[in-house]
Amino acid sequence: MEEKPRFTGNGVLRLPPGFRFHPTDEELVLQYLKRKVYSSPLPSSIIPEVDLSKYNPWDLPACGGCGCEEVKYFFGLREARNPNRSRRNQAAGSGFWKATGKEKPVTASRCHQVVGMKKVSVFHRGKPPTKTEWIMHEYRLAGPHATTTSDATHGTMAARWDWVVCRVFKKKRTKIEIGEDHMQESSCVTELSDGSGDGEEASSGSMSSTP
């Protein structure tokens, strides 16, 4: 008795509960960012293009049904006027992203080569600016052309090296530990749904299946 994956009317495949877009750093860099830079077909349309400067992190558009409402992924372009701005603050919405520490390498698991660089930033806002709980992981391709904006010399393929891929999320608060004495049950959680995965209870992942 299995629930089969089903297509909804708009061509989106609903996945069973627990399945979601949860890529590793390596997958983000090699399977998504690298293809974006080289204009190769992407494995899915899950990651939208976003102008980061226009959004507070909580206003960023949701992915195409990735099942992770709390984590947002998007492609962005590094600013052309200052491509080597790893230490700069980056204006966004009503505040700015401030990098924490140095960029770190992303390595390929098979051959242990560095394939990208990862920068972690914290969103700041207010006067004086104070840090929020919003975090961004920004990935760029590693390589000899990584600080140029385009490249027509890499084989016969023109590449846009200023694409980055980002993961934005709100840091989780530490939960307060309580004893089992505080447990309650209510009707909202004692009913079993019918397994169709249509209920609000199911936070199913989904993905586009159409071109």
The footprint of a second copy on residues 32-91 (CB under 8 A) is 32, 34-35, 38, 40-46
**Residue 19 is a binding residue for a second copy (CB under 8 A):** yes
**Residue 30 is a binding residue for a second copy (CB under 8 A):** yes
Question: Closest distance between a second copy and the C-beta of residue 129, in Å?
Answer: 26
Helix (H/G/I), strand (E/B), else coil: 53: helix
What sign for the dihedral angle of Cα 53, 117, 151, 163?
Answer: negative
Rounded-to-integer distance, Cα 146 and Cα 130, Å: 31
Asked if residue 47 lies in contact with residue 63, where contact means CB atoms within 8 angstroms, the answer is yes
**Residue 27 is a binding residue for a second copy (CB under 8 A):** yes
Task: Dig out the tokens for 117 from the structure.
Answer: 């660089």
Helix (H/G/I), strand (E/B), else coil: 75: strand
**Which residues, 98 to 127, sit near a second copy by CB under 8 A?**
101-105, 108, 110-111, 113-115, 117
Q: Which is nearer to a second copy, 43 or 126 (CB)?
A: 43
**Which residues, 165 to 194, sit near a second copy by CB under 8 A?**
175, 177-180, 182-186, 188-189, 192
Name the nearest CA neighbour of 121 among 88, 146, 149, 143.
88
Residue 77's beta-bridge partner residues?
Answer: 163
Among 8, 22, 85, 94, binds a second copy (CB under 8 A): 22
Q: Which is nearer to a second copy, 80 or 189 (CB)?
A: 189
